[in-house]
Structure 1
Amino acid sequence: MRGLTGAGSVGTRGITQAVIAAGAALAAIALFVAASGTGGTGTRDEGPAHASAAVGAVDAPKSSPSPTSRYRRVDAVSLLKKDPAVSTAVKRELKPCSGDDYPVEATYGDLTGGSVNDVLVNVWVCGDEVGIGTYVYRDVRGTYENVFKAEDSPVFSEIDGHELTVTKQVYDTDDPAANPSRETVITYHWKAGRFAERARHENHYSRTGGDAAPAQDN
């Protein structure tokens, strides 16, 4: 670019440099927008025993995504309250723990290969933070459909690349609430319009220190 701006008057060089600077700024903005729309392990938004497809659908609470991004933030609490697939027991916990802080976490990522990132929502109980429900919503022509739910507490889910990882703590008969014997980790992959189990393993906790022993694949 130095050769192009080396000739001509001072005024011409100033105009050219201004145009180049403006172009660089626009390119930087475009790269930032593109990066924010990627999947990976999911973008989190902590806001105010088996997989199952939910009945019905829920209208998207927020506006449509921009043409340059797959990401669309939603009101996760409103989404859950309107969803008939969410149990009454879980909906009773959809109230602020303090102020506007709800026991709900929304994570965005590409789990189902749709044009808009899917929404993974985890719900826990205020105070002890025990997970009581986890759900995946998929955008279908502007409407969010519940394509996965697990409400066998304690349960928590994460987005791992393009797969869904669900962790369930398991208690034996004499286990105290704060010390489960083990946890089962199940990996699901979207296939033929639904989540199919791909892998499962168990982590066994030490009865003395509480640390997890090496995973045992089933």
Structure 2
Amino acid sequence: MRGLTGAGPGEARVSSLAVIAAVASIAALALFTASCSSGGEGARDEGPAHASAMAGAFASPSPSPSDSDPHVDPVDLLMNDPAVSASVKRDLKPCDGDDDAVQVTYGDLTGGSVDDMLINVSACSDWVGIGTYVYRYVGGTYKNVFKAEESPVVADIDGTGLTVTKQVYDTDDQVSNPSKETVITYRWKADRFVERYRHDTKYSKTGGDAASSSDG
């Protein structure tokens, strides 16, 4: 009755290989089905993966901070900057109603690989601008490359230019009635900001039209 004896070594090996191939096919089918259910959005990270999905996978390195957002506290930056005056530092605090006296804008002003920081500081008492600063990211830290503390002053990013607006007062002017407004546009050149355009608007003390003059 040799036909009823157990399978030989060769037959057992073939049977084992068939079982392994079947298991591999089932695993591949399950992986393909899971991939199709993602909606075809590519390698988009939608959050932490489940432990079962990560079994047997290599751990990914922790992502480094984005070059465009190095997560710098603007208040700490100003407080530790010797170029910022003591009077401005005294106003670096939250105002009533949790409004912040420090406003930050990111933009490309100096052509660096990381966006520059434009910081405007206002006084809590009247929200008048008391200081404006530009910080450039150099060698892993932000460096002060521009400041204006002739209050009232405020700055904006206009494309790749820095626009600084100042209210100019005569000795007898009231805060609500400056003698003129000066708008200065700067461009980054040879590692510093260079004045490119100036526009003055003189206000009439008699209620007439304002007079303008430019120096391009």
Normalised to the residue count of structure 2, the TM-score between the two structures is 0.68
Q: What stretches of structure 1 move > 6 A for 4+ residues in a row? A: 13-16
Counterpart amino acid of residue 130 in structure 1? V
User: Match for residue 85 of structure 1?
Assistant: 83
Relative distance call for 1:144 and 1:178 in structure 2 (3 A) is: same
User: Match for residue 140 of structure 1?
Assistant: 138
Matched residue of 2:154: which SS? strand
- Whether the 8 Å CA contact 1:65–1:116 is kept in 2: the answer is no
Per-residue CA distance 1:63-121 (angstroms, 9 max, x = gap)? 9642xx63444211111001010001111111221365331101100000111100000
Partners of 2:200 and 2:153 in 1: how far apart?
Answer: 14
Per-residue CA distance 1:169-210 (angstroms, 9 max, x = gap)? 011232111111211000000000000001101123354669
Partners of 2:131 and 2:38 in 1: how far apart?
Answer: 53
Shift of 1:216: 1.8
User: Match for residue 115 of structure 2?
Assistant: 117
Which of structures 1 and 2 has the bigger CA Rg? 2
- Whether the 8 Å CA contact 1:64–1:142 is kept in 2: the answer is no
Relative distance call for 1:14 and 1:89 in structure 2 (3 A) is: same
Shift of 1:26: 3.6
Partners of 1:153 and 1:91 in 2: how far apart?
Answer: 14
Shift of 1:213: 3.5
- Specify every segment of 5 or more residues in structure 1 that has no aligned partner in the other structure, as ranges: 1-10, 28-62
User: Match for residue 152 of structure 2?
Assistant: 154
- Specify every segment of 5 or more residues in structure 2 that has no aligned partner in the other structure, as ranges: 1-29, 46-62
Q: Percent identity?
A: 61
User: Match for residue 22 of structure 1?
Assistant: 41
Relative distance call for 1:107 and 1:19 in structure 2 (3 A) is: same
Normalised to the residue count of structure 1, the TM-score between the two structures is 0.68
Relative distance call for 1:162 and 1:71 in structure 2 (3 A) is: farther
Partners of 2:131 and 2:64 in 1: how far apart?
Answer: 27
User: Match for residue 193 of structure 2?
Assistant: 195
Report which structure shows greater RCO (CA 8 Å, sep ≥6): 1
User: Match for residue 95 of structure 1?
Assistant: 93
Give the alignment's Cα RMSD to 1 decimal.
3.0
Partners of 1:131 and 1:64 in 2: how far apart?
Answer: 35
Matched residue of 1:21: which SS? coil
- Whether the 8 Å CA contact 1:122–1:135 is kept in 2: the answer is yes
2:161 to 160, 163, 183: 163
User: Match for residue 214 of structure 2?
Assistant: 217
Shift of 1:17: 5.5
